[in-house]
Amino acid sequence: MTQKIALIPAPPMLFPEALFLYSSDVVLIEVQGNKKSVKQTMKTPFEGIIPSVNYHLWEPCNMRCKFCFAPFYDAKKLLPKGHLPKEQSLQLVSELAAFGFEKITFAGGEPTLCPWISDLISEAKKWGMTTMIVTNGSRINEAFLEQNKEILDWIILSIDSLTDETNLKSGRAVTGKKVYTKEEYFKLIDKIKKYGYRLKINTVVHQLNFQESMKELIEYAKPERWKVFQVLPIKGENDKHIDEFVITDEMFSAFIANHHQLQDEGILVRENNIEMKDSYVMIDPAGRFYTNKNGMQEYSESILSNGVERTYFKMNYNYQNFINRKGVYNWK
Ligand code: SF4
């Protein structure tokens, strides 16, 4: 099965491209004018490896969600600013692409606060990766949408509730005070669609919203995918308030049952605490793979110092869990 074409570094007159095949083969194609010919085939370490990676490029966020599991306290101890500098971050993205990851999701914190976010997206796109950003939406404006329309494929909006009170209580509000109203969310969705971005919505289900219906939002936004997560406790990251948010499996199932039609249509993809663990390839702001399989964040060594291959394999990510949680879908 043929996947995305990726540009690879090449002599300027040859413009070779790499066609990634799901079988773990890479075919290098030489393009001269209209003529294309197979130059070389090679094996990648791709088979059985999760093809998508989430790069949490930095921790700063303008919202204050009390259940947030991404404050990355550990990275702050490691690096003076708590995240890689721009040049290292760019290098990391190119090394991830060279390793064979096909899709990259930039997350945070709030990634749109990062002044070099467009450079990172552009670097990933240069390599032919499918590019995504997870955002709380507060800084997605016309300028951002215009600037990134050729390089960013998907926008993933985190929306947990259309009720101001719920968003305020949960901290999903700028500085914990200014909520995004229903009307503002709808206008934002209109703008994103106007520019032709593919849209996904993420919702975290917790004590304050498990009885809420999100049908109006989803029917309006018509996202290609709606990921619904059971709020996830992570030791050392969100312990302080998590008791106010954790829900039982039954409460989570009640939310799903309330939206079963969207699940039947294949739009809603659910993930409870078990399904979420160990099935995401995640990178922290200090440039290390991490996993939450034991209920806390555990890190690899630095990817840039030790190589993607060595650090990836040490993490023992669970490919089957990735498949089970429907991690493969039509993202290209
Ligand atoms: S918007 Fe996202 S990164 Fe920011 S506090 Fe909320 S969950 Fe955390």
pLDDT tens-digit profile, the chain (332 residues)? 333 333 333 333 333 344 343 444 444 455 556 665 554 444 444 668 899 999 999 999 999 999 999 899 988 888 988 899 999 999 999 999 999 999 999 999 999 999 999 999 999 999 999 999 999 999 999 999 999 999 999 999 999 999 999 999 999 999 999 999 999 999 999 999 999 999 999 999 999 999 999 999 999 999 999 999 999 999 999 999 999 999 999 999 999 999 999 999 999 999 999 888 888 999 999 999 999 999 999 999 999 999 999 999 999 999 989 999 889 899 99
pLDDT, tens digit (0-9, with 9 covering 90-100), for 288-303: 999 999 999 999 999 9
CA-closest candidate to residue 98, choices 127, 76, 134: 127
Say if ligand 1 is within 6 A of residue 70 CB. Answer: yes
Ligand 1 mean position, distance from CA 65 (Å): 5
Ligand 1 mean position, distance from CA 56 (Å): 11
CB 267 within 8 A of CB 316: no
Question: Which residues touch 248 (CB under 8 Å, ≥6 apart)?
Answer: none
Residue 126 phi/psi, 5° resolution? -55, -35
pLDDT, tens digit (0-9, with 9 covering 90-100), for 16-74: 344 343 444 444 455 556 665 554 444 444 668 899 999 999 999 999 999 999 899 98
Say if ligand 1 is within 6 A of residue 223 CB. Answer: no
Q: Which amino acid, one-letter code, is at 108?
A: G
What pLDDT shows up at residue 99?
93
Distance between CA 221 and CA 102 in Å, rounded?
A: 26
Return the residue whose CA atom lies nearest to atom 7 of ligand 1.
68
DSSP string, 218-236: HHHH--SEEEEEE----BT
Say if ligand 1 is within 6 A of residue 120 CB. Answer: no
Say if ligand 1 is within 6 A of residue 167 CB. Answer: no
Distance between CA 277 and CA 274 in Å, rounded?
A: 6
Distance between CA 152 and CA 131 in Å, rounded?
A: 5
Ligand 1 mean position, distance from CA 136 (Å): 7
Ligand 1 mean position, distance from CA 173 (Å): 9
Cα atoms found within 13 Å of the Cα of residue 137, Cβ hemisphere only: 25
Atom number in ligand 1 closest to CA 204: 7
* Chain length of the chain: 332
CB 61 within 8 A of CB 7: no
E strand spans, 120-241: 130-135, 154-158, 198-205, 225-230
Ligand 1 mean position, distance from CA 7 (Å): 33
Say if ligand 1 is within 6 A of residue 275 CB. Answer: no
Q: What is the CATH number of domain 52-324?
A: 3.20.20.70
What pLDDT shows up at residue 17?
40
User: Which residues belong to CATH 3.20.20.70 in the chain?
Assistant: 52-324
Distance between CA 170 and CA 175 in Å, rounded?
A: 12
What pLDDT shows up at residue 77?
87
Ligand 1 mean position, distance from CA 73 (Å): 14
Ligand 1 mean position, distance from CA 114 (Å): 14
Residue 53 phi/psi, 5° resolution? -135, 140
Distance between CA 194 and CA 185 in Å, rounded?
A: 14
Ligand 1 mean position, distance from CA 121 (Å): 20
Place of tokens 């023992």: 316
pLDDT, tens digit (0-9, with 9 covering 90-100), for 226-241: 999 999 999 999 999 9
Say if ligand 1 is within 6 A of residue 110 CB. Answer: yes
**Candidate of 55, 61, 209, 240 to mutate for ligand 1, largest count of ligand atoms within 8 Å of Cβ:** 61
Distance between CA 111 and CA 108 in Å, rounded?
A: 5
Say if ligand 1 is within 6 A of residue 160 CB. Answer: no
Angle at 62 between CA 59 and CA 67, to 5 degrees: 70
Distance between CA 27 and CA 309 in Å, rounded?
A: 20
